[in-house]
Each structure stands twice: as structure tokens, then as C-alpha cells.
Amino acid sequence: MDWINTLTEEEQPLFSVSKSLINMKETVFMGPDGSKKGWPHSKQGEDLRNQLIELLESFNYEDGSNPFDWVEVGYGEFGQKVLRGNCKNRYSDKRYHNLSEGSQEGREDCPVLNAHCKFYSYQCDSNGDVAISHCCHPDNINDREGNCTHTLCPL
């Protein structure tokens, strides 16, 4: 992202760009400015975040959609929260369900075994449907989301 190169030497290290393993996606990460809200450096960090978001929003299409997905999160001593973004939240705020934690009301069985499996975890969308699943078995050759399939299951 060329915009990062226009920043001062002090500001540039706040940013990193990471390429995905597949689909040629890039993730731009802006780290925290390290300042508490209201402190002088907090304003500088807030200004940089706003500049980045304005740049991303400048790519909005007429219908309001955008080729970039972005999210701003806050975290620290008071917890964590999505502050703003342009992605529709299709996932619940519940954490991932890991079936190794024992019996859970409403838990989903492993779709391959049709039974409880301690290696299977999942996240539900806002409708309560399984949206993301993962098998963490050490013999599963594909360690990516969605890897819980009949062909990959080592059991």
C-alpha cells in the first residue's frame, strides 16, 4: 500500500502488510499507538487510523460496497470490541466452540463422524448455523478452516 510510504519514519513502523497464502489477498495491519485515550500520542494514532479509513472509503462504489474489507478494533484493559468497519457481521459474538471441552447444550457434532469429536471446533453465524469449522487433529494434512471433510479426516 503506497500510502504507508508517504508517512513519517516514526509512523511507518505502525503498519505491516501481509500477503495471504492463497487468493492473492493482502492484509494491512496498523498496530496500536501505545498511548492511552486522551494522551497526546493517542490523537496522532487516531488521526492515522482516520486517514487510513478515509483512504479505504475513497474506493467505495456508487452502491456503497467496497473492494476492501476493513475493521477497527479496540482492546486493552477494558476488554475488546469492534469499533467500526465495513463488513456485515454474519458471525455471532460467541467464541469458537471446541468440543473437547465436554458436553454443551446445542453443540454440533463433527459432520464427518456424525458424533462428538475432540478435534472439531466451529463458530456459528448470527442465525446459530455453523459458519466456520476446523479439525485440529495432528494427522489432518490441511490445517485450515473448513478442513473437516471426509477426504481429510484421519479418523
pLDDT in tens, 115-138: 878 887 777 766 667 767 778 888
Contact 34, 25 (CB under 8 A): no
Which helix or strand (DSSP H or E) is residue 124 part of?
strand 120-124
Q: How far apart are CA 22 and CA 120, in angstroms?
A: 23
Average pLDDT rounded to a whole number, residues 89-114: 58
For residue 33, pLDDT over 50 is answered with yes
